[in-house]
Chains A and B, each alone.
Chain A
């Protein structure tokens, strides 16, 4: 069944719900807009034969205590190629530019948000518009949020005239609940409905040991993800977070994600250190095989839809550069973040090597950023 049919009623309902919700809200309230802040970041990733690096900026400024505008830019340059691509193609260098603009409007206990994102690559173009509302109830103890996003992407190929469209609708529902003076509970749901070209024009399926033509993906995909997260404060300056996410989609991928984080201030709050652990596991899509023994309607060999597990440990260190209340820039922080990730595949082998041993690789995720408040 087409994903758009499944979500047909809901997609018509979503924008109307946001408008009705806004009209129902009382005008007097106490929510506040995000802080005025500017961030600049250099980011780096290395793993599985691929290096990615680039810069990113995000600037937010409020006006008249009711409107906050944000603009952002994110750039990355990808070089190398994963074993999927190496099996049938050559390493490459590719650049991606992403532009983002958003506005938040404060109305009583509610914040209405509108955001536009555009991503450009030589062989991929994506445009997404999202609308969201968050509203405080129960004397500010509960925050309910609703969101809807519509994405329209165009997938093409560097060397041919291949071009296909991809349509994506995203539905979000969130609940954040204060349970005690030191404990917060967050619940999130996200449903995504995609239709169009969902494969990768550079990758091939393998049959009886031979790479034999392009993969064949279904043209629709519908996914549901739910997440529960608890955040606990430990006086005088530490917190712990634990989160679990369950994901399932119409390709029969089941995924579980567990995340734990411990955060603590040091030296009169000048330093803030976060230590994180993340566990992820997923089952394969129903049409995935490392090496097919015959033709099927749908056939894919992407390791992203195979059975695998990943474990990551990371640290984020934030250092307060200055704190000058009343000055033009009243605070500044420098942030260094690093994650080490180990990916272990059950049923995917590296075709560039002999043998059918399951593939595995380690990756490094790093970023250095500076944040200014004004």
Chain B
């Protein structure tokens, strides 16, 4: 578990710090569709959190049910 978590953390730091030399292949002006609210699964936060809460208290599993946040890269 610890090895997995540490690997994930190191990978994240690598992404955060050093991978900016890779060129983006979807230009900002091509991201109009991605910016549409219809692409955001969590666009109505109250509604989706209510639904998630109902399942969370009735199921054994929980976690990783939301989205990563952001994501369209269209700003």
Contact = CB atoms under 8 A, between A and B. Distances in A.
A352 to B, nearest CB: 19
Contacts of B71: 143, 176-178, 184, 186
Interface residues of B, number: 56
A233 B38 contact: yes
A139 B59 contact: no
Given A56-B50, A139-B28, A282-B61, A10 B5 contact: yes
A160 interface: no
A182 B54 CA distance: 31
A223 interface: yes
Closest 5 CB pairs of A and B: A176-B71, A174-B68, A139-B24, A140-B73, A190-B63
A273 to B, nearest CB: 10
B64 A188 contact: yes
A222 interface: yes
A137 B60 contact: no
A98 to B, nearest CB: 9
Contacts of B55: 278, 280
A365 B54 contact: yes
A134 interface: yes
Contacts of B64: 172, 188-190, 225-227, 245, 247
A9 B2 contact: yes
Interface stretch (A210-218, A234-242, A289-297): A234-242
Contacts of A171: 5
Interface stretch (A85-93, A151-159, A201-209, A255-263): A255-263
Interface in B1-20: 1-2, 5-6, 8-9, 12-13, 15-17, 19-20
A20 interface: yes
Interface string A181-194: 11010111111100
Contacts of A112: none
A167 B38 CA distance: 37
Given A237-B36, A305-B60, A343-B58, 4 more contacts: A175-B15, A225-B64, A304-B58, A335-B47
